[in-house]
Amino acid sequence: MENGQNVRSWAEVGAELVAVAAGRAPADLVVRNCAWVNVHSREVIEGADIAVKAGRFAACGPDASAVIGPRTRVIDAGGRYLIPGLCDGHMHVESGMLVVSQFARAVMPHGTTSMFTDPHEVANVLGLEGVRLMHDEAMAQPINVFVEMPSCAPSAPGLETPGAEIGPEDVAEAMGWPGIVGLGEMMNYPGVVAGDAKMLGEIAATQAAGKVVGGHYASPDLTDFPAYAAGGPADDHEGTREEDAIARVRQGMRAMLRLGSAWYDVKAQITAVTEKGLDPRGFILCTDDCHSGTLVNEGHMDRVVRHAIDCGLDPLVALQMATINTATHFGLERELGSIAPGRRADCILTSDLRTLPIETVIARGEIVAEGGRCLAPLPDFRWPDSARRTVRMGRRLAAEDFDVAAPEGANRVRARVIGVVENQAPTRALEADLGVDGGLVAMDPAADVCQIALVERHRGTGGVVNGFVSGFGYDVPCAVASTVAHDSHHMIVVGTSKADMALAANRLGEVGGGVTVWREGRELALVRLPIAGLMSDAPAEEVAKDAEAMVAAMAACGCRLNNAYMQHSLLALVVIPALRISDLGLVDVERFELTSPFVPA
């Protein structure tokens, strides 16, 4: 089944490809005089002609003049490089703040022609229905958007309450959908190691379907990693150190090295190849999370490949890690990831392999982007109203809802504080001495300790859980609220002013979700995300403009972190150490248990 295309039998298509390759029939498209980048042999073949028929490569060789007919479209490459379309091996469309159609339009000009997306964000809000909607929209795209069935909703049972849950029966059902290529990242790594029946049941249903199980082992302690690998996960993108990458490939996994909007994990791990000499076939490049501003202004997989090259990786090896390695991992080597006969005709013309300007992008034999502009039509897909009414707070909040009561009789407290780490997903478990005023614990902005709250927004309980966070640098009365709150996607509010925290939370309840920044009673920025409180169906450029205003507003409140919004959105991700917040309380992720906001005296 071709993702997003009408089904034709391979006998029909194969006969056409053979006829063109044998010189008996004209091609639909011929790219002449190109430097063919062959990722199978890791070489550049000068003066090549590439013939395309029925959306697939038919002949790749020195001279295709015999198959140029009166209706054949001919592109003269002028000696430029022809490289395979880029593949993102692990990502979340929702992190772009965009629906699939708008995300695809944003990345096509950057040379991405295949994406492997795990919609566990929407699964935590809308359940199996949301995954099906994401899958159906993915199937309508002019590029390849494959879906991994989310594995963990909730990501950590007993530590959070999502809007919907996914179980083994849902996984088994989804494995029969045409665009499903595997199971999304198995975040409940303690459950796998402990032999949890639900987690192993989901893995078993995936393996029975002959599909790939995605991994997510976030602990820096690798003691239990062999047990996790034995459970079935076949890849992992959570590494941040060289030893993490080495551990994954030694256990037969693919190490997925990510460069997202805020995750800079390639440089520290690529030395496993460039210095330790490990086989690069075990490594895959990916983005994981990129917001719209990054996509529009910096790029997508082209940005990752350039970065890997800047980190010392040979350009041809970097391209392998963003094309054929990914396709092979998902069992799609005969479908995509290379310029070779029979594969989908996804390719890029570029004049330089190091700086990688994306000049012309071809997907399934059609030019979909050129000169930085998307030329593909927008698919006709609409999300239903049921996906647009998902922020249910139950009541309006007031400043008092963000009060933190001190233990009785205390004049000062030793508080546990979530410590943000710039450009990485893990947090630190910090402690701070905080004063008490009128029985309430006071934050300390001068010491970079402000408040964090998680507001329940799925069932309208009106619940608010409060704690403390450090690292954002906010130094004026302000608040930032977001309904993008991985993975259960309640609402996270961070601020130095309880009044602004209430205003920000109520604002998101009014608009149906998104991100808002307030300072001294005034809204500085708003990104509307009406679909599941996670995505917008507006064009990427519009969402990026609002996102840029949001980042600027955070800076105006004193924040100096790179892409601090991504850090904000992960403060409730209770499967990555060390300290997080959920609707049930403060979570010690190293012990996988709820903990008190105060350190015992």
Interval 117-141: pLDDT, tens: 999 999 999 999 999 999 999 999 9
3 pLDDT exceeds 60?
no
Position 263 confidence tier, pLDDT thresholds 50, 70, 90: confident
Q: Render the burial of 209-235: b for 16+ CB within 10 Å, e for the rest.
A: bebbbbbbbbbeebeebeebbebbbbb
The predicted-structure confidence for 529-586, as pLDDT tens digits, reads as follows 999 999 999 999 999 999 999 999 999 999 999 889 989 999 999 998 999 999 999 9
Residue 249 backbone dihedrals phi, psi, to 5 degrees = -70, -30
Model pLDDT, residue 158: 92
**Beta partners for residue 148, in sequence order:** 182
Model pLDDT, residue 7: 60
Please indicate, yes or no, if residue 427 is contained in any of the structural domains: yes
Mean residue pLDDT of the chain comes to 95
Instruction: Please choose, from the candidates 484, 540, 534, 422, the residue with its C-alpha nearest in 3D space to the C-alpha of residue 112.
Output: 540
204, amino acid identity: A
Average pLDDT over residues 375-392: 95
Please indicate, yes or no, if residue 193 is contained in any of the structural domains: no
Please indicate, yes or no, if residue 566 is contained in any of the structural domains: yes
- Residue-number span of the structural domain to which 479 is assigned: 386-595
The predicted-structure confidence for 183-202, as pLDDT tens digits, reads as follows 999 999 999 999 999 999 99
Please indicate, yes or no, if residue 540 is contained in any of the structural domains: yes
Position 601 confidence tier, pLDDT thresholds 50, 70, 90: confident
The predicted-structure confidence for 314-358, as pLDDT tens digits, reads as follows 999 999 999 999 999 999 999 999 999 999 999 999 999 999 999
Q: Which two tokens stand for residue 224?
A: 């239990």
DSSP codes joined into one string, 121-168: HHHHHHHHHHHHHHHHHHHTSSSEEEEEEP--SSSSBTTB--SS---H
Rama region for 489: left / alpha / beta (φ>0; ψ in -120 to 50; rest): left
Instruction: Please choose, from the candidates 301, 285, 302, 338, the residue with its C-alpha nearest in 3D space to the C-alpha of residue 45.
Output: 338
Position 1 confidence tier, pLDDT thresholds 50, 70, 90: very low
6 pLDDT exceeds 70?
no
d(CA 473, CA 477): 12
Structural domain count of the chain: 1
The predicted-structure confidence for 513-535, as pLDDT tens digits, reads as follows 999 999 999 999 999 999 999 99
538 CB-near residues (< 8 Å, 6+ apart): 102
The 3-state DSSP class for residue 242 equals helix
Please indicate, yes or no, if residue 56 is contained in any of the structural domains: no
Please indicate, yes or no, if residue 440 is contained in any of the structural domains: yes
Model pLDDT, residue 45: 98
Model pLDDT, residue 552: 96
Q: pTM for this one?
A: 0.92
4 pLDDT exceeds 60?
no
Is the separation of the CB atoms in 146 and 117 below 8 Å? yes
Please indicate, yes or no, if residue 336 is contained in any of the structural domains: no
